[in-house]
Amino acid sequence: MPGQVPSFSGPLQPFFKRMNRPVTHSRGTTPPDMLFIYPPAAKISEPPAGIARLAGALKHHGVAVKSVDMSLEGSMYLFDSASEAHDKWSTRALNRKDRNLGLLTSGQGYENIDRYRNAVLDTNRVLKVASDGTGALASLANYKSDTLSPVKSEDLLKAAQAPEENAYFPYFKARFKELEEECGGLTTVGISMNYLNQALTTFAIIGHLKAAYPHVRIVLGGGLVTSWMRMPSWENPFKHLVDEMIAGEGEHPLLRLFGKEPDQKHYLPDYGDFKDLPYLAPGFVLPFCAAGGCWWRKCTFCPERAEQNPYTPVETSTAVAHLNTLVETLKPALVHIVDNSVGPAFLKKLFASGFNTPWYAFARVTPHLTDEAFCRDLKASGCRMLKLGIESGDPAVLSDMNKGVPPEMVSRALATLRKVGINTYVYLLFGTPTETEAAARKTLDFVAHHHDAIGFLNLSVFNLPYFAPEAKTLNTSTFYDGDLSLYSEFNHPLGWNRSLIRHFLEKEFKKHPRIAPIVHRDPPVFNSNHAAFF
């Protein structure tokens, strides 16, 4: 590969060689005040938006920061360490691993969905081979232990007590040693944990830090931490492991942790430590957050409502200015607006700024999406795809969910988006408490009727948020056996239980002749994160 190969040794050398860029060391300089870590395993198609926001705020106030995407690095370490296979699939995957990695990081890999699928599944297989014998299964988007559960605080404490049992341990042990040498010391480590898939490795990392670097201050935040801390019954079981836990947006709490008083509400994100990393995408994907929470916040059984998460938008003109600055500086191949639902006011301001870079986002179906002129402005600004939470094709179910969107409006929006050339990734939700099998068949009919306007489908079975107010009206039981579980099982009041729903989806819904092609073209593992490239 062209470019300067850095002088790293040991288990990380293949990964840093693959980075294919000059690396400058900061030995002899002032150590960073804050080292941000994004732990395995999360999808490695783009950098973590949350850490970039935190880094931007701290750097604005003169706090020295270094950010490390350990999810990407850990996956690439496992990928490079896999060498021996005992079955035909694994042997093929190992033989083709460099070819497949090349496909997933170039446009060529996205020209054919079947070739893409093989590349993703083979790469996943390599990670399985690499994690064999560790008591866990690693993949491109997940990490599962044979014996430990991420929803049990007792098991997370066990992961911290025995970090050497984690499949990523050789990687992060060596990486922290290198970081200490490179940075001239470690003082505060901030870990952003957004998903259950990251929990076991997060606590293995925390356990290693406590043992090997006992002087280091550990700060834990992220989406999963926020959900835990907003549980009414929350009592921190990790007090002796973690110095600070932060719920919600972390910019201001972190600044005050370093004795800095925030001088503005939102700061320009900093992607400097991520922009040249070899993410699995055909170009740099820029994740951008214009608002936290959801601006609708009225749907029944919504986790946002159950957790009482506030809606915290960045001022519209500031958000658009920040996005334009980042695009001009980083020149991304694609922008991913990561809001729960991008608002019409932000979109109108984006149009007016002359924005013209490929992007995609999650949006509520509103009358704006039935307006052809508005949708043509969307297309002109670079919109490649909109993710739409349609949930159901039955008007009664939508009304009971307080979705605020009738099927007729959805029909007009899908037709308008198709007319202007914007792809759609449609989310459906089966098994809500008022849905019946007949209602689910109305959803099937709705999708089949609109098949030519739906690019991709996400089919989910309803999970009941443990602390949703509506849960009190249902006969509930434990969904996951653990004190950190966020969801409850329930006996469906109309008998439309999970086993019946799964049978309907697998045997009927997915096999409908107009729906099967939509299901087939969904990118495995990466799903909507890669769909806009097709």
Instruction: For residue range 425-458, list pLDDT tens digits in order.
Output: 999 999 999 999 999 999 999 999 999 999 999 9
Provide the pLDDT for residue 229.
96
Of all helices (H) and strands (E), which one includes residue 391?
Answer: strand 383-391
Three-state DSSP string of 98-133? HHHHHHHCCHHHHCCHHHHHHHHHHHHHHHHHHHCC
Provide the pLDDT for residue 14.
64
Residues 6+ apart with CB under 8 A from 340: 291, 293, 294, 304, 362
Domains contained in the chain, number: 2
Tell me whether residue 361 is in a domain: yes
Tell me whether residue 139 is in a domain: yes
Which CATH number belongs to the domain containing residue 525 in this structure?
Answer: 3.80.30.20
Range of 142-151, 339-348, 459-468 with top mean pLDDT: 142-151
Instruction: For residue range 183-204, list pLDDT tens digits in order.
Output: 888 999 999 999 999 999 999 9
Mean pLDDT, rounded, of the chain: 92
Across 33-47, average pLDDT: 97
- Is the domain of 167 the same as that of 57? yes
Tell me whether residue 26 is in a domain: no
Last residue of a domain, one of 243, 258, 273: 258
- Is the domain of 212 the same as that of 307? no
* Percentage of the chain modeled with pLDDT above 90: 82
Residues 6+ apart with CB under 8 A from 457: 425, 426, 427, 428, 447, 515, 518, 519, 522
Domain containing 183: what range? Answer: 31-258
DSSP E strands: which ranges in 122-242? 136-138, 143-145, 188-192, 217-221
- Is the domain of 197 the same as that of 124? yes
- Is the domain of 242 the same as that of 316? no
- Is the domain of 412 the same as that of 511? yes
- Is the domain of 216 the same as that of 82? yes
Provide the pLDDT for residue 264.
92
- Is the domain of 335 the same as that of 432? yes
Tell me whether residue 318 is in a domain: yes
Confidence at 28, pLDDT banded by 50, 70, 90: very low
- Is the domain of 486 the same as that of 431? yes
In degrees, to the nearest 5, what angle opens at C-alpha 462 toward C-alphas 496 and 311? 145
In degrees, to the nearest 5, what angle opens at C-alpha 67 toward C-alphas 21 and 42? 90
- Is the domain of 449 the same as that of 490? yes
Instruction: For residue range 326-369, list pLDDT tens digits in order.
Output: 999 999 999 999 999 998 999 999 999 999 999 999 999 999 99
